[in-house]
Chain A
Amino acid sequence: MKPIFDPGDQNAVEQASRMFGAFHRLEQLTLDDAPPGGRLSFARLYAYVGEAETDPEVEATLKDSASLRADYRRLVEKFSALFIPLAIAAESGKESVREGVGCRLRFVTSRAEPSQTYVIVEFTEEPNALASTLFLCDQFDNCHKVPLEAPRDGKVQLLLENSSDLLIRLMDKNTVIFRRS
């Protein structure tokens, strides 16, 4: 039987007008069609913290959303260990050091290629640490993920261009570094 609508029944119309919103919202929420743009789910973000590799799509989304970055940073802080806290600026000169929790970062300019710098991550208390992931977080909640191979003799050595974003972040006193095994 087809539904019937009587526009003259003011009471019914009035009742219906109040209820229409909720029913309509329900229909809209359960609509099949995907809304435009989509949105990175929190579940994906939660899983991403535990992944060693970077995902360009996730990184691009984080770049565009301050709220997602804040969520991501909170996840990093809760599920990884503090590695290098906010510290005094690295001293100028040929070599500089950032002290951390059971670790140290040393920066050594290459003599072979002065436009490159070695970063030596020393695990002072855990020389046999497993491969892990570093999260470099700045004051804008940008948390940059860096996979780190297992140390050899308690050290991991990176070689970076002086102009590289990663080196700049590592040396930046405003960068807090977390580590997740």
Chain B
Amino acid sequence: MDAQDAKRHAFEAGLSDSLRAAFRNAAEATAADGELMFPYSVSRDLAKAVACRNYAMLILQLCHLVNIADANGEDGWEVLFFSGKRASSSAFRGLIAERLERRDWRRAGFEVTIEGIVISYEDGRFNVPFARMPVLAALMYFLLETVGYKAADDAFSQMLQKATRQQAVSKAANQISRQLYEYLGDHLRAAQEQGKFEQIVSYLSEVNGGGEAEISDAVILSFWCMQTEANEDNDFKQYRSALRAFVAFVKAIEGGKSKGAVARPASIGQDRNAGEISPDILTADMELEGEWQSPLPLLESEPASRIRFLNNREQKDVSLLMDWGPLATAWPLSLLRYETFGFTQSRLTQAARSGTVGAEIDKIASCTDTENFIRRVERIGELGVHASETLKASAWILHQAAHDDADSEDDTVIDAHMLAARRAFKKLNRQGFDEVVQSNMDLIAGHRTGMEVMLSVRDRLAAWHEIASEIDASPPGLEGQFEADTECFKNGFHRLYGENG
């Protein structure tokens, strides 16, 4: 593939590979302890801000945070963002306090409150809440990957020369916003996105001869198969990309329906001066009232974040199901295909990029190593059981905290449910589930919040598992379905990655 092809290919998604890589670097940054720097919810918020181009306010807050960081120590503003600690409100609070113990603020006008830092400028006041700092830090990481460190540092350095004036901070924020806007202009192609929308509309229109079409698992799979036969290069040839496009399509349709017929300008992101849609509206549209929101981010925030309800693997296994919410139950086979055949296709893509020999690619493309549906469904079931067990354990903890004679362990006094809860508590060997919890009010609060989340998780998993069981109960069953899908995907993969692909 020559450079021209590479560029074209890079933009087929509407998003350049550089932009995706930059976001990934930010989202997957690790702390000194090897854990992800940013909670999943923070990365998601950053993704929304970038996707909607709704970052101006965030950048302004970030510039104020840089001012705080610069005044908080002598090592430069960078130290606050690259301390190696996981980005949480408490971590920022602790880090700033630690540095203040070594030396006071380098200049006047900074005040630590319970909620955050208040900066008193010559021309106004500004508050940066601790709770906001993780997403601001994520934005900083993203900016450094896109706009670049030198450009950002130039803007910050100029700002810090007049650090006592809010005007200087606003100026820096505008400068950086412009730079990011220009970067995104080069790396986001609205035209490609529009093309994809049209493609899906066109396809769905044909499904039922122009009438209403039910978007089912079969429709999505058929769409993908069709793409594998097409000559032009596009990322719909990736099953996962195709499926996600349908997720975006459905969300856009649902969003469009609920907003009603409101006259709006033609398109987004072309020229703000031309009076296009303000990105703020879009962000609001993304979070419609009544629309499904994954509860998992609550597990990453305090007070629940102190308790290890789900480990990294479990989090990864449930995240898609929880993100899609109703769509996961509407498209159970699509989700299974995403996790199984979608993973196989990722391997094929990597192998093709790295120049792996044809025989090895053929082996992967044959799908003999692909995890089957039954095993996948079993894992979802196991996760559901785990969710139940953590609920019981949390219940036991809360029960003990609520009763004075917590030492009494007479079986005849405890009812059967609590007995099971106690057993679950004793079996669970995780952070936040030990004896000490019962005297720790923060952890108790964490369990209360976490229980609500885990209830939702358990219910979602149980609902989905039930649907999967129904599919298995009716012909051809999960095994039969997997065999049929294997043929379909195998053929598609050979078309795409075989010697003539």
A residues engaging B (CB < 8 A)?
1-8, 11-39, 41-43, 45-47, 67, 70-71, 73-75, 78-79
- At the interface, yes or no: B175 with Cβ under 8 Å from chain A? no
Chain A residue with minimal CB distance to B19? A29
Do A19 and B256 touch across chains, with their CB atoms under 8 A apart?
yes
Chain B residue with minimal CB distance to A44? B25
With the chains together, A39 CA to B144 CA distance in Å?
Answer: 12
Do B25 and A74 touch across chains, with their CB atoms under 8 A apart?
no
**Extra 7 A-B pairs, beta carbons < 8 Å, given A12-B257, A30-B43, A34-B24:** A5-B249, A8-B211, A17-B197, A26-B48, A31-B20, A31-B244, A74-B153
Which of B48, B51, B269, B350 is most buried by chain A, counting CB atoms within 10 A of its CB?
Answer: B51
Do A19 and B216 touch across chains, with their CB atoms under 8 A apart?
no
Q: Chain B contact residues: over half helix, strand or loop, or mixed? A: helix
Do B14 and A18 touch across chains, with their CB atoms under 8 A apart?
no
With the chains together, A30 CA to B76 CA distance in Å?
Answer: 32
9 contacts between A and B (CB under 8 A): A1-B330, A3-B330, A5-B201, A5-B204, A17-B252, A27-B244, A36-B17, A43-B82, A45-B149
Chain A residue with minimal CB distance to B245? A24
With the chains together, A75 CA to B14 CA distance in Å?
Answer: 33
A3 to chain B, nearest CB (A): 5
Do B346 and A32 touch across chains, with their CB atoms under 8 A apart?
yes
Chain B residues 1 to 31 lying within 8 A of chain A, measured CB to CB, are: 13-15, 17-27, 29
With the chains together, A34 CA to B238 CA distance in Å?
Answer: 13
With the chains together, A31 CA to B106 CA distance in Å?
Answer: 43
Query: A43 contacts which of B25, B198, B213 (Cβ < 8 Å)?
Result: B25
- At the interface, yes or no: B327 with Cβ under 8 Å from chain A? yes
With the chains together, A42 CA to B204 CA distance in Å?
Answer: 43
- At the interface, yes or no: B414 with Cβ under 8 Å from chain A? no
Do B141 and A27 touch across chains, with their CB atoms under 8 A apart?
no
With the chains together, A146 CA to B287 CA distance in Å?
Answer: 52
The 3 closest A-B pairs by CB, nearest first: A15-B256, A23-B248, A25-B51
CB neighbours of B211 from chain A (8 A): 6-8
**A46 with B248: in contact, given A39-B145, A70-B148 (CB under 8 Å)?**
no
Do B268 and A28 touch across chains, with their CB atoms under 8 A apart?
no
CB neighbours of A4 from chain B (8 A): 212-215
**A16 with B349: in contact, given A2-B216, A27-B244 (CB under 8 Å)?**
no
Chain B residues 52 to 104 lying within 8 A of chain A, measured CB to CB, are: 52, 76, 78, 82
CB neighbours of B249 from chain A (8 A): 5, 16, 20, 23-24
Chain B residue with minimal CB distance to A39? B21
Chain A residue with minimal CB distance to B30? A43
CB neighbours of B237 from chain A (8 A): none
The total of chain B residues at the interface (CB under 8 A) is 85
With the chains together, A58 CA to B313 CA distance in Å?
Answer: 30
- At the interface, yes or no: B498 with Cβ under 8 Å from chain A? no
Which of B144, B238, B269 is most buried by chain A, counting CB atoms within 10 A of its CB?
Answer: B144
Do B256 and A13 touch across chains, with their CB atoms under 8 A apart?
yes
**A23 with B14: in contact, given A5-B213, A18-B268, A74-B150 (CB under 8 Å)?**
no
Do A24 and B257 touch across chains, with their CB atoms under 8 A apart?
no
CB neighbours of A15 from chain B (8 A): 252, 255-257, 259, 261-262, 264
With the chains together, A25 CA to B277 CA distance in Å?
Answer: 17
Do B346 and A33 touch across chains, with their CB atoms under 8 A apart?
yes
CB neighbours of A26 from chain B (8 A): 47-48, 51, 248, 286
With the chains together, A27 CA to B197 CA distance in Å?
Answer: 14
CB neighbours of B193 from chain A (8 A): 20-21, 24-25
Chain B residue with minimal CB distance to A28? B15
With the chains together, A6 CA to B207 CA distance in Å?
Answer: 11
Query: A42 contacts which of B15, B25, B331, B350 (Cβ < 8 Å)?
Result: B25
Chain B residue with minimal CB distance to A13? B201
With the chains together, A7 CA to B188 CA distance in Å?
Answer: 27
Chain B residues 305 to 329 lying within 8 A of chain A, measured CB to CB, are: 326-327
**A46 with B82: in contact, given A20-B249, A39-B18 (CB under 8 Å)?**
yes
B residues engaging A (CB < 8 A)?
13-15, 17-27, 29, 43-44, 47-48, 50-52, 76, 78, 82, 141, 144-145, 148-150, 153, 188, 190, 193-194, 196-198, 201, 204-205, 210-216, 238, 240-241, 244-245, 247-257, 259-262, 264, 267-269, 277, 282, 285-286, 326-327, 330-331, 346, 349-350, 353
Do B330 and A2 touch across chains, with their CB atoms under 8 A apart?
yes
**A19 with B285: in contact, given A25-B193, A78-B76 (CB under 8 Å)?**
yes
With the chains together, A4 CA to B442 CA distance in Å?
Answer: 45
With the chains together, A36 CA to B277 CA distance in Å?
Answer: 32
Chain B residue with minimal CB distance to A50? B82
With the chains together, A21 CA to B255 CA distance in Å?
Answer: 12
Do A5 and B148 touch across chains, with their CB atoms under 8 A apart?
no
Query: A18 contacts which of B21, B82, B150, B267 (Cβ < 8 Å)?
Result: B267
With the chains together, A181 CA to B249 CA distance in Å?
Answer: 55
Do A3 and B20 touch across chains, with their CB atoms under 8 A apart?
no
CB neighbours of A5 from chain B (8 A): 201, 204, 212-213, 215, 249, 253
Do A18 and B264 touch across chains, with their CB atoms under 8 A apart?
yes
Chain B residue with minimal CB distance to A70? B150
**A41 with B145: in contact, given A15-B255, A23-B252, A70-B150 (CB under 8 Å)?**
yes
B461 to chain A, nearest CB (A): 19
Do A27 and B21 touch across chains, with their CB atoms under 8 A apart?
no
Do B15 and A29 touch across chains, with their CB atoms under 8 A apart?
yes
Do B21 and A22 touch across chains, with their CB atoms under 8 A apart?
no
**A19 with B25: in contact, given A26-B51, A74-B153 (CB under 8 Å)?**
no
With the chains together, A11 CA to B263 CA distance in Å?
Answer: 10
CB neighbours of B21 from chain A (8 A): 35, 37-39
CB neighbours of A42 from chain B (8 A): 25, 141, 144-145, 149
A117 to chain B, nearest CB (A): 34
With the chains together, A41 CA to B25 CA distance in Å?
Answer: 6
CB neighbours of A32 from chain B (8 A): 240, 346
Do A27 and B346 touch across chains, with their CB atoms under 8 A apart?
no
CB neighbours of B331 from chain A (8 A): 2
Query: B286 contacts which of A12, A23, A29, A35 (Cβ < 8 Å)?
Result: A23
**A19 with B252: in contact, given A28-B244, A29-B51 (CB under 8 Å)?**
yes
A111 to chain B, nearest CB (A): 45
Chain B residue with minimal CB distance to A43? B29
